[in-house]
Structure 1
């Protein structure tokens, strides 16, 4: 694989992760947070690929494998699941 493509994966992953973190941190509602998690998913995929295709990024690749699963859970919670979770106090009552 070309070094240019590997570099693009690295920089896309970093930029997309920063944008997704900003969107999630702004707390603009469930839909926007869900879109932020979708961007996180693409960031995780890019950094996972970069980590295992580059010579020095295996740790980042492994970390983003785990983050990919976490981000998919975020997409499910904020975009796919219909009912928001009940607070713990109400669920036990």
Structure 2
């Protein structure tokens, strides 16, 4: 998952390699200076925005809820702006 400073984002999932997924996320991120914030395999990823420090943070986990909790913990709180799980995530 990639995010730009203006909040634009891109996500990619179910790619064969991490590098390909990151390229896919960056190509779908329409804002300026997009950066990959998190990658995930057989699970989920999320990006959170913490308004008090004006920053975006990523996290990953086995479920959507775990990925969001990881991103919020990394950010010190905040609001989820995007999440995604792989099609065949481990259960």
**Greater gyration radius:** 1
> What is the TM-score when the length of structure 1 is the normalising length?
0.24
Greater per-residue strand proportion: 2
Greater per-residue helix proportion: 1
> What is the TM-score when the length of structure 2 is the normalising length?
0.24
